[in-house]
Amino acid sequence: MKRIKQKYNYAGYLYILPWILGFLLLQLVPLISSLWYSFTDYQMIGTPKFVGLANYAKAFKSPEFWKSLKVTCLYVLMAVPLKIAFALVIALILSQKIKGINFFRTLYYLPSILGGSVAISVLWKYLFMKNGIVNGLLSKIGITGPDWLGSPTWALFTVGLVTVWQFGSSMLLFLAGLKNIPESLYEAASLDGAKTLRKFWSITLPSLSPIVLFNLVMQMINAFQEFTPAYVITQGGPLKSTYLYGLMLYDQGFKFFKMGYSSALSWILFVIILAFTSTTFGSSQSWVHYGDES
């Protein structure tokens, strides 16, 4: 029996071997390597030269670093709440028992399947050009549209709309959460004379708060790492108004070949995301409510 058990255990390790190899070769080794490179002067060609914390000091003294970080924080503060709010509103609409509702659920989820691809970014660029389709439609109703991509005021907002438009995954999570709210809670609230808005604030939103937390954390992490839309649509934008952190990191690593400095920037971003995530989880004790709480 002991030999059979040992063979079974070895067989289990054999089954997960592809994942273990993938994790070691494609995740753990690059992670450790980037940490080492962040303490070196490495130009991709030649031997890395250890410089200690020089790359980190250079980043904190760089006006470009602070400009990019500011733009990225503005992007996160704008795109993430809008995406979650939009997903929640659409989920509330699609949770109604209406004929053909499954078609509309599929339709609203399609943008998320397409993802933040280059093709979608190119399409967005043509939509919001100064003489693009959006301004053309606005002109038909007597509105002169702004220079969406050429104005420092509008460029970041326009790029952020790509993220907001792809709200399907968050919407599905909200839909699942809405299905799990007991109907008896709404019936009891109706008997007490509660109106629709009161039911939303007192029943729906607290019941969905764990899903709001999950969506907030995941979307925030993705937003801090955003790259493709800003690069393809505006390439940093006018006056670097859309010069997200990901673009700066890309330029330093693959345009100027400063791999050591780029690695340091990556680890700084990791710490920033960790800090925001930890703060969000810490604050969740005061606004997230779970069904098993007394």
pLDDT of 4? 52
Average pLDDT of the residues in 212-221: 95
Question: What residue segments make up the domains of the chain, in order of their start?
Answer: 63-286
Share of the chain above pLDDT 90, in %: 57
Given a cut of 60, is residue 5 above it in pLDDT?
no
Q: For the chain, what is the radius of gyration of the CA atoms?
A: 24
The whole-angstrom separation of Cα 145 and Cα 219 is 29
What DSSP string runs through 169-212? HHHHHHHHHHHTS-HHHHHHHHHTT--HHHHIIIIIHHHHHHHH
- Rounded to the nearest 10 degrees, the angle between the axes of helix 205-224 and helix 168-179 is 160
Spatial distance between the Cα atoms of 163 and 222, rounded to a whole number of angstroms: 10
Please state, in angstroms and rounded to a whole number, the distance separating the CA atoms of residues 119 and 168: 18
For residue 293, what pLDDT is reported? 56
| pLDDT (tens digit per residue) in 74-119 | 999 999 999 999 999 999 988 887 777 888 788 878 777 776 578 8
pLDDT band at 272 (very low <50, low <70, confident <90, very high): very high
CA-based nearest residue to 247, from 264, 224, 270, 268? 224
Distance in angstroms (rounded) separating the CA atoms of residues 132 and 134: 6
What is the pLDDT confidence band of residue 283, given thresholds at 50, 70 and 90?
Answer: very high
Phi, psi angles (nearest 5°) of residue 49: -110, 120
pLDDT for 120 beyond 60: yes
Q: What's the CATH class of domain 63-286?
A: mainly alpha
Of 22-26, 94-98, 176-180, 260-264, least confident by mean pLDDT is 94-98
For residue 9 the two structure tokens come to: 């255990």
Condensed to tens digits (0 to 9), the pLDDT of residues 132-156 reads 899 999 998 888 889 999 889 999 9
**What 3-state class would DSSP assign to 287?**
coil
